[in-house]
Structure 1
Amino acid sequence: MSVAEPRRIILFRHAKADWPQVSDHERPLAERGRKDAPVAGRKLSDSGIPFDLALCSTAARTRETWKLAVHELPHRPKTVYEERLYEASPGELIAVLNETPDDVQNVVLIGHNPGVQGLADILAGEAEGDARTRMDRRGFPTSAFAVLTYSGSWKALEPGVGTLVDYWAPSE
């Protein structure tokens, strides 16, 4: 594929987590999260985006979210569980995305706030329709995702180069 073809980056926040007496990294999904994750997966499927790669935090809640959501997709992308996504800043998330091979066109990143929302905000130099308004109004609740397009090499991904083309969050 040519680096001139638009790439898509889907920033997906994990579903609602429970608060049992375990370390933050090991927190499982709450009942609501187990219901919302497949719904988010269906919405991702409805987008028609053929995901080439999933980058998922190693935290229990992100792994469980992805496991429930990916079953709703027409095909399962290669999944890489990446420790650096846990508690990552937007800059750290960009650094991970910069390592993506250029033959990968569409990436879904399953992570945490405030990093995921911060990354959506700083990558989106432009927005289509009311996607920015909806994202700004709702924030980035659990199970929400933003879809951004970007043209160029993954190594050149930096703030302001993307276009926010869609945003979805579950109704509460």
Structure 2
Amino acid sequence: MSVAESRRIVLFRHAKADWPQVADHERPLAERGRMDAPLAGRKLADTGIPFDLALCSTATRTRETWKLAVHELPQRPRTVYEERIYEASPGELIALLNETPDDVRNIVLIGHNPGVQGLAEVLCGSADGDARERMSRRGFPTAAFAVVSFDGSWKSLEPGVGTLTDYWAPSR
């Protein structure tokens, strides 16, 4: 694979979490989250993107979201649970993605706000159709995802190089 090939990153925010008396990292999904995660998985499948790799935060709510969503995909990608995603800034997420081997073409990153939304905003120098307007109008609610494409190696990923090609959020 050429490093100049087009790559895609799907930035997927975890589904709605509950607020029990546990540490933030250990918060499980709420009932609504358990309903939205498989729906988001079906919408991810509808994108037709063949994911090579899933990078998932180690937080309980992200792991539960991915477990419910991935069953809706036609092929399960290799999944890496990465503690650096939890509470990561957009810059820290870019640094993590810069470590990706160039034989990986498409990644889904399952994480948290404000990092996931911030990363979508920072990466996208352009957008297809009304994707940016929809993301701006809806924000980045739980179970939402943005599809970002860019050309080049993972090491070349930096602010402004991406195109927002799709955005989806559960209707509420």
| TM beyond 0.5 | yes
Q: Please report how far the alpha carbon of residue 112 of structure 1 lies from its aligned counterpart in structure 2 after TM superposition.
A: 0.1
1:168 partner letter: W
- Give the corresponding residue for 2:11: 11
Deviations 1:4-38 (A, max 9, x none): 21100000000000000000000000000000000
CA distance in structure 2 between the partners assigned to 1:5 and 1:42 by the alignment: 26
CA distance in structure 2 between the partners assigned to 1:167 and 1:47 by the alignment: 10
Q: How many residues align?
A: 172
Gaps of 5+ in 2: none
Percent identity for Structure 1 against Structure 2: 83
After TM superposition, list the pairs within 5 Å mapping 1:80-119 onto structure 2: 80-119=80-119
Deviations 1:90-122 (A, max 9, x none): 000001000000000000000000000000000
CA distance in structure 2 between the partners assigned to 1:55 and 1:95 by the alignment: 13
Q: Please report how far the alpha carbon of residue 3 of structure 1 lies from its aligned counterpart in structure 2 after TM superposition.
A: 1.4
Q: Please report how far the alpha carbon of residue 42 of structure 1 lies from its aligned counterpart in structure 2 after TM superposition.
A: 0.1
- Give the corresponding residue for 2:121: 121
Q: Which runs of 4+ in 1 moved over 4 A?
A: none
SS at match of 1:122: helix
- Give the corresponding residue for 2:21: 21
Gaps of 5+ in 1: none
Does 2:144 align with 1:166? Answer: no
Superposition RMSD on alpha carbons, in Å? 0.4
SS at match of 1:33: helix
CA distance in structure 1 between the partners assigned to 2:47 and 2:99 by the alignment: 25
- Give the corresponding residue for 1:134: 134
- Give the corresponding residue for 1:44: 44
Q: TM-score, normalised by structure 2?
A: 0.99
CA distance in structure 1 between the partners assigned to 2:59 and 2:95 by the alignment: 19
CA distance in structure 1 between the partners assigned to 2:156 and 2:19 by the alignment: 38
